[in-house]
Amino acid sequence: MIDGQGLDGAVVAAKDGADWGWTTLYRALAPTITGYLKAQGARDPEDVTAEVFIQAVKGIDRFSGDGAQFKSWIFCIAHNKLVDDVRRRRRRPEDLSPDAGRNLVHPSNVEDQVMRNLSDGRIREMFSRLTVDQRNVLYLRMIGGLTLEEVARVLGKPSSAVKALQRRGLGAIKRELPVQGYQFEPSGRLPAMGEMT
Amino acid sequence: MNISDEDFDKVISGKSGASGPEATEVARITRRLNSTYVSPMPPATEAKHLQAIRQANAGRSAAGSKPAGTSGPLSVLEPFKNLLAGMRPLGFLQLSGSTAVWAVVAALFLVSTTGGLAAAGVLPERMQSAVSSAARTVGIQVPGPAPAVPGIQVSEPAAPGQVKVTEGDPAAQQAALAAAEQAIAAAEQAQRAAQEAAATSARCMEESMAQVSALVEGILGATSPAQAQAMVAQAKTIGTNVKACSDQASAIGRNGVVFAAQAAELAQKASGANPAMTPEALASVQSAGQAARMAETSASQALNVSRSIVDNVSGLAASLVSSSIGLQQLPTAPAPAGPAPAASQPVPPVGSVASPPVWANWGADYSNQIMRSFQGGAGRRR
């Protein structure tokens, strides 16, 4: 997980207009940003990630800070894009065209995709029991790797509120674990389906 | 779940030290989330996105922000200084304690920064100065009264690329004008070749520095031996690409020398047509020739630097393999499930491995369980 350290130089270069700075930042941060957007259910997370970076390029002159601050800034852009995406989807009906689900399953790797969907479905279900705010906090913390303060800045909430949301979110997940069949035993072994009660 | 902020931060940032069942659970949920949602960008998508980002960046430069590449040699070095300062022995490399690896990484950076100097300021600047000088003189801008000799007289400054013929024998005028214009055209070609060589070598070094920087970042943050090995393979590819790029720069630089030689020859012709033009025209094409030779020097340096990078990247690969990490002994695929860590043990930080067997066992255990759940789940669920 990228923690922003080591990105300082790339941020300086990006601010200076050097392509390699942006390339480095993209390679370091795009996977986690896409992961965050995917987890949040963005319709086309990869395209949104590209939009996030393009917006960052356009706004880099207004940004000042180091690699860690850049990371929290770009997650802020990503989160805002996500909110826009959700609003857009509420206004417009779902795309029912034949192309709408073309990326869901690649015909050459159906088994892997089924496995992934199964796993995705369970973890998504576990987090779907949380409130939106709790989910935002935990995803930004656990996928984005942001600190409490950085999450507070992204969400525009006080740190104390973020801390409370995190605690309640984790508590809810802990309660959810046995129901979902994901209770991690002290040994670290995952129980098989037959062992579940 | 009652986990301290400090432990939570340690778990999600990949730092060791968090312990206890709560931290263990947070670490595992975090791993699950990351393995479910975070994956490398597909190469085609990455290429498409980077293209769009570069276009936006170019648009930003054109719109009046700082143009690309204005940073100069010092700020080219800055990222590497920062990266070196920010280096922390994370994850996989933390296990090694191998000074050989660090030495090779440091050598890689030294080579990269030397290349940066060559590409991003020092040589191109000197060369640019010579080119500018050549362009000025090739334009036959000779201010003030010209020597009163038969043939062509240049009586006032001419625009670049033009020769003003004011008086003299018409046939001699014509011959000298044709030769001088050819010399100017050749010198301009030399100038363009020199600039192109500089731009190509600068781009080459910029791209290679970005790739090397990303690669070293990746190696330092490698979460598994397999990942580190994949990056070592990537290092070799980068080395090959850098070499190809520098070869191209060098070839362009050599073209510059050929054009300069043509310019010199044509200048000789011009001087034969009219001795009065000789000193100015010759000085012009000599400057152009010097610029082209500098271009070739710069391109050759880029080539040498790229070869050094190739050597050092190969050295890095060799050191990684042969150092105390003992890559060759570690499994590249998840090993069969074994005893998992007890809950009281320190939590393996996310993004690193506490020890290879723990990592391998965890991966195998996880995938086996998922597979069993998948195979038997439908029948057992009511």
- B374 domain-assigned: yes
Average pLDDT, chain B: 52
Convert the pLDDT of each residue in B61-119 to its tens digit. Answer: 776 654 443 333 333 333 333 333 333 332 333 333 333 333 334 334 333 333 332 33
Taking 60 as the threshold, does the pLDDT of residue A87 lie above it? yes
Nearest CA in chain B to A55: B56
- Print the domain residue range for B378: 1-29+333-382
Which of B338, B6, B117, B90 shows the shortest CA–CA distance to A163? B6
**Range ranked top by mean pLDDT from A79-83, B94-98, B138-142, B256-260:** A79-83
Which pLDDT band, with edges at 50, 70 and 90, does A72 fall under? very high
CA dist B160 to B117, B152, B157, B184, Å? 31, 17, 9, 9
User: For residue A83, is pLDDT > 50?
Assistant: yes
Domain count, chain B: 2
Q: Is residue B368 part of a domain?
A: yes
The pLDDT, as a whole number, for residue A124 is 77
Confidence band for B4, pLDDT divided at 50, 70 and 90: confident
Residues B237 and B93 in one domain: yes
CB contact (8 A) between residue B41 and residue A191: no
CA distance A147 to chain B (A): 7
Q: Answer yes or no: is B61 within a domain.
A: no
Residue B146 has pLDDT above 70, yes or no: no
In this predicted structure, which of A89-93, A156-160, B69-73, B142-146 has the lowest mean pLDDT? B142-146
In this predicted structure, the answer to whether residue B153 has a pLDDT above a threshold of 50 is: no
**Residue among B82, B87, B88 with most chain A CBs within 10 A, to mutate:** B82
Same domain, B235 and B299: yes
Banded model confidence at residue B286, pLDDT cuts 50, 70, 90: low
Interface contacts A/B by beta carbons within 8 Å: 223
pLDDT over threshold 90, residue A56: yes
Residue B155 lies in a domain: no
Same domain, B212 and B291: yes
**pLDDT higher at A138 or A89:** A138
The proportion of chain B whose per-residue pLDDT surpasses 70, expressed as a percent, equals 14
Residues B13 and B104 in one domain: no
CATH of domain A1-92: 1.10.1740.10
For residue A110, the SS3 value is helix
Domain co-membership, B313 together with B359? no
Choose among B9, B213, B365: nearest Cβ to A24: B213
Q: Does B16 touch chain A (CB under 8 A)?
A: no
Q: Does any domain span residue B63? A: no
Higher pLDDT, B294 or A47: A47
3-state secondary structure chain B: CCCCHHHHHHHHHCCCCCECHHHHHHHHHHHHHHHHHCCCCCHHHHHHHHHHHHHHHHHHHHCCCCCCCCCHHHHHHHHHHHHHHHCCCCHHHHHHCCHHHHHHHHHHHHHHHHHHHHHHCHHHHHHHHHHHHHHHHHCCCCCCCCCCCCCCCCCCCCCCCCCCCCCCCHHHHHHHHHHHHHHHHHHHHHHHHHHHHHHHHHHHHHHHHHHHHHHHHHHHCCCCHHHHHHHHHHHHHHHHHHHHHHHHHHHHHHHHHHHHHHHHHHHHHHHHHCHHHHHHHHHHHHHHHHHHHHHHHHHHHHHHHHHHHHHHHHHHHHHHHHCCCCHHHCCCCCCCCCCCCCCCCECCCCCCCCCHHHHHHHHHHHHHHHHHHHHHHHHHCC
Contact call for A194 and B376, based on CB within 8 A: yes
Within 8 A of A145 by CB-CB distance, chain B residues are: 12-13
Partner-chain contact B37 A58, CB within 8 Å: no
Q: What is the pTM of this model?
A: 0.44
Nearest CA-CA distance, residue B301 and chain A, Å = 21
What would the mean pLDDT of B270-296 be, rounded to a whole number? Answer: 53
Q: For residue A37, what pLDDT is reported?
A: 93
Q: Which tops the pLDDT comparison, B351 or B217?
A: B217
Same domain, B211 and B354: no
Mean pLDDT (chain A) is 76
Q: What is the DSSP string of A142-159?
A: HTS---HHHHHHHHT--H
What's the confidence (pLDDT) of residue B379? 39
The predicted structure's pLDDT at residue B95: 30
Residue numbers in A near B56 (CB within 8 A)? 54, 57-58
pLDDT in tens, B5-44: 777 777 776 666 667 777 777 787 888 888 888 888 998 9
Confirm whether B87 is domain-assigned. Answer: yes
Please tell me if residue B2 touches chain A, with a CB cutoff of 8 Å: yes
Calculate how close chain A gets to B305, using CA atoms only, in Å.
18
Task: Report d(CA A106, CA A111) in Å as an integer.
Answer: 10
Mean pLDDT over B206-227 rounds to 65
Which chain A residues are within 8 Å of B30, Cβ to Cβ? 142
Say if residue B86 is in the same domain as residue B111.
yes
Q: Domain check: are B312 and B340 in the same one?
A: no
- What pLDDT does residue B249 have? 62
Residues B193 and B339 in one domain: no
> Is residue A82 pLDDT above 80, yes or no?
yes
Question: B14: nearest CA in chain A?
Answer: A1
Q: What is the mean pLDDT of residues B333-357?
A: 36
Q: Looking at this protein, which amino acid is placed at residue B307?
A: R
**Is the predicted pLDDT of residue A140 greater than 90, yes or no?**
yes
What are the start and end residues of each CATH 1.10.1740.10 domain in chain A? 1-92
Residues B289, B357, single domain; the answer is no
Q: What is the pLDDT of residue A84?
A: 86
Q: Verify that B227 and B255 share a domain, yes or no.
A: yes
Q: How far is A92 from chain B (nearest CA, A)?
A: 26
Residues of A with CB below 8 A from B210's CB? 19-21, 23-24
- Which residues fall within 8 angstroms of residue A33, CB to CB, at 6 or more apart? A49, A52, A74, A75, A78, A144
In tens, the pLDDT along B307-325 reads: 555 555 555 544 444 443 3
SS3 A42: coil
What is the complex's ipTM, to 2 decimals? 0.77
Question: What is the per-residue pLDDT for B11?
Answer: 74
Q: Give per-residue pLDDT as tens, B356-375.
A: 333 333 334 433 443 444 34
The four Cα atoms B347, B354, A177, A29 give a dihedral, to 10 degrees, of 100
Contact (CB<8Å) A5/B88? yes
Residues above pLDDT 90, as percent of chain B: 3
pLDDT over threshold 50, residue A66 = yes
Q: What pLDDT is stored for residue B240 in this prediction? A: 64
Asked whether the beta carbons of residue A189 and residue B340 sit closer than 8 angstroms, the reply is: yes
What φ, ψ does residue B19 adopt, rounded to 5°? -140, 170
A17 — pLDDT class (breaks 50, 70, 90) = confident
* Residue A133, pLDDT score: 92
For domain A111-180, say whether CATH 1.10.10.10 is its number.
yes
Question: Using CB atoms and an 8 Å cut-off, which of residues 353-372 of chain B contact chain A?
Answer: 362, 365-366, 369-372
One domain, residues B106 and B193:
yes
Residue that wins the pLDDT comparison between B309 and B261: B261
Note the pLDDT tens digit of each residue in B244-258: 666 666 666 666 666
Is B57 an 8 Å CB contact of chain A?
yes
Distance from CA of A89 to the nearest CA of B (A): 21
Say whether A172 sits in a helix, a strand or coil. Answer: helix
Q: Which of residues 33-52 of B touch A (CB under 8 A)?
A: 33-34, 36-41, 45-46, 48-50, 52
pLDDT tens by residue, B292-305: 555 555 555 555 55
B159 inside domain: no
